Amino acid sequence: MLDAVTARLDRARTVMRRATLVPLLIRIGIALFLVLAMSVAWPVELVAGRYGVPLLLLALYPAIAPRGRGATAVVLVVVAGWVADTTWNDARVALWRVLSIATLLYLAHTLVALAAQVPYDAVVNLDVVTGWLTQAGAVVLISAVLTVIALGLAGELAGGAFVIATLVGLAAAVAATLLLARLLRR
C-alpha cells in the first residue's frame, strides 16, 4: 500500500519535472473550456451554490486524463445541465448560450483529441497547435452560422420548431449513417 503511494508520488514528481509547456497549455485549454461550458449550461444558482464545486472539479478531469472516457462523460453532464435548465427551470433558449455551449464543447472535444495523442513531455512544434486550432476555428465558424440561421428560422416560424428539429435531425441522422457506413466500408 505504502509502496504504491510512494510509486505514484514518484511518478507524479517525474511528470512535473518532465512536463513541457505546450501540452500543459493544451490541457489548461481543455479545463478552461469545459469549466466555462459547465457554468453556461447549468443553472446559475446551482453553479454558484454548493453543487458548483463538484461540477467544476468534474470539468477538470478530462484535462488530467484526456485518454479516458472522462471527456464524453463531462460533455454529457454539460448537455444534461442544459436540458435540465431549459426543461425544469423553463429558461429561455438564448442564442448566446447555445452558441457558447456548442463552441466550448467542440473546442474542448478537439483539444482532448489532441491531448490524447501528444504526450505530456513532448517537444511540440507550434505548427501542430496552430493548424489544429485553425481547423477547429473553421468548424466552429460554420456551426455558428448554422446555429444563427436555424435559431432565426425557428424564431420566424414560431411554433414550427418541432418540424424544423425533426427535419434537421433527420438530415443529420442520414449524414451520420452515411458517415458510419463509409467508415465501416474501410
Partner 1 sequence: MTDTPPLRAAIPPADQPVGEGWAGPAWVPTRALGRTVLLTGLLLVLGVALGRVDLVLLAAPFAVGAALGLRRMPRSAPEVMIDADDEHVVEGGQAHAGLTVLNPDLIPYDLVVVRIRSSPWLRLENADRPFAITVAEDGWAQIDLPGEALRWGRHEVGPAAARVAACQGLLACRPVVTAARGVRVYPVTDPFAAVEAMPAAAGLVGNHRSRRPGEGGELAGVRPFAPGDRLRRIDWRVSLRTRDLHVAATLSDRDAEVLLLLDVLGEAGVSGGVAGSASVLDTTVRASAAIAEHYLKRGDRVSLLEYGASGRRLRPATGRRQYLTVLEWLLDVRAHSADESPYEHAFGPHHVSPDALVVVLTPLVDPRSADMLARLTQSGRFVVAVDTLPAGLQPPRRSPWTPLATRLWRIERDNVLGRLREHGVPVVAWAGAGSLDQVLRDVARMASAPRGR
Residues interacting with partner 1, by CB under 8 A?
18, 20, 22, 67, 69, 71-72, 75-76, 79, 82-83, 86-87, 93, 98, 101-103, 105-106, 109-110, 112-114, 116-119, 121-125, 127-128, 131-132, 135-136, 138-140, 142-143, 146-147, 150-151, 154, 161-162, 164-166, 168-170, 172-173, 175-176, 179-180, 182-183, 186
Q: How far is the CB of 68 from partner 1 (least distance, A)?
A: 8
What's the grid cell of residue 81? Answer: 445541465
Find the length of the chain. Answer: 186
Q: How far is the CB of 47 from partner 1 (least distance, A)?
A: 18
Q: Kindly tell me which of 56 and 124 has the beta carbon lying closer to partner 1.
A: 124
Q: How far is the CB of 54 from partner 1 (least distance, A)?
A: 22
Rounded to whole angstroms, the Cα distance separating 90 from 1 reads: 50
Q: How far is the CB of 16 from partner 1 (least distance, A)?
A: 15
Q: How far is the CB of 71 from partner 1 (least distance, A)?
A: 6
Please report where in the chains the cell 447555445 appears, as a residue.
98
Rounded to whole angstroms, the Cα distance separating 178 from 186 reads: 13
Question: Which one-letter DSSP state was computed for residue 159?
Answer: T
What's the grid cell of residue 147? Answer: 446555429
Q: Kindly tell me which of 47 and 70 has the beta carbon lying closer to partner 1.
A: 70
Rounded to whole angstroms, the Cα distance separating 154 from 45 reads: 28
Sign of the alpha-carbon dihedral angle for 9, 10, 12, 16: positive
Q: Kindly tell me which of 44 and 53 has the beta carbon lying closer to partner 1.
A: 44
Rounded to whole angstroms, the Cα distance separating 131 from 137 reads: 10
H or E element at residue 76: helix 70-87
